[in-house]
Amino acid sequence: MSMDSIRSRVPSPGMVVACIALALSLGGTGYAVTSLPKASVGATQLRNNAVVSAKVRDGSLKAADFAAGQLPHGPPGPQGPVGPAGKDGSQGVEGKQGGPGLSGWEIVVPNPTFVGTGRAAVAYAKCPAGKKPIGGGGDITAGVNDQVAITGSFPDSTGWEVIAEEMVPTTTNWYLHPVAVCAAVAP
């Protein structure tokens, strides 16, 4: 063996340093794995932002590992079946007795008021004793509807009054018919 062949087998100083560094790095990791007790590294040992997304294996976290509102909601599920009908509620409290309201209503149509011609007229339908007007109105007869108009129609405490006037003078006699709707009204 020659001296040149022995020299070619001796590693260079850079190779020796690289091998020592590799041995220390592998040995240090192996030491940490074998010498640290299980669950001995927690939040107090980690610096802020030391664990980032790239260092977490996909699918290793569960929903409980996240704060409320951090996970997006999934799509809504299908409509569930209709549930059974609920029980009937209990009987409510009986209400107060209502007032007597209206009773004994009737329509009062007195004889028409003859007016003649060229005038205005007032006609009145009086309710029977003990009854009050709850509605009313009037009508004009004798073919003068385009010349005579009802200009007022209103109740008072005992009946219904109707007022009519000739809008265009007429020579035809006409009649004014008042009508009252009367009823016994509770006080």
Q: Please count the structural domains in the chain.
A: 1
With beta carbons less than 8 A apart as the criterion, state whether 131 and 183 touch: yes
Across 76-88, average pLDDT: 92
More confident residue, 167 or 14: 167
Distance CA 162, CA 149 (A): 11
Q: What is the DSSP letter of 65?
A: G
With beta carbons less than 8 A apart as the criterion, state whether 183 and 106 touch: yes
Domain presence at residue 9: no
Domain presence at residue 45: no
Residue range(s) defining the domain that contains residue 120? 102-185
Nearest to 133 by CA among 94, 161, 174: 161
Per-residue confidence (pLDDT) for residue 125, from 0 to 100: 96
Confidence band (pLDDT; 50, 70, 90) for 28? low
Domain presence at residue 54: no
Domain presence at residue 122: yes
Per-residue confidence (pLDDT) for residue 31, from 0 to 100: 55
Domain presence at residue 6: no
Distance CA 142, CA 139 (A): 10
More confident residue, 58 or 162: 162
With beta carbons less than 8 A apart as the criterion, state whether 118 and 169 touch: yes
Domain presence at residue 97: no
Q: What is the DSSP letter of 26?
A: H
Domain presence at residue 66: no
pLDDT tens, 84-138? 998 999 999 999 988 778 889 999 999 888 887 767 889 999 999 999 999 999 9
pLDDT tens, 61-72? 887 777 887 888
Q: Is the pLDDT of residue 177 over 70?
A: yes
Please state, as a whole number, how many other Cβ atoms lie within 10 Å of the Cβ of residue 115. 23
Domain presence at residue 78: no
User: Which value, in Å, is the radius of gyration of the alpha carbons in the chain?
Assistant: 54
Per-residue confidence (pLDDT) for residue 136, from 0 to 100: 96
CATH number (domain holding residue 131) = 2.60.40
With beta carbons less than 8 A apart as the criterion, state whether 163 and 122 touch: yes
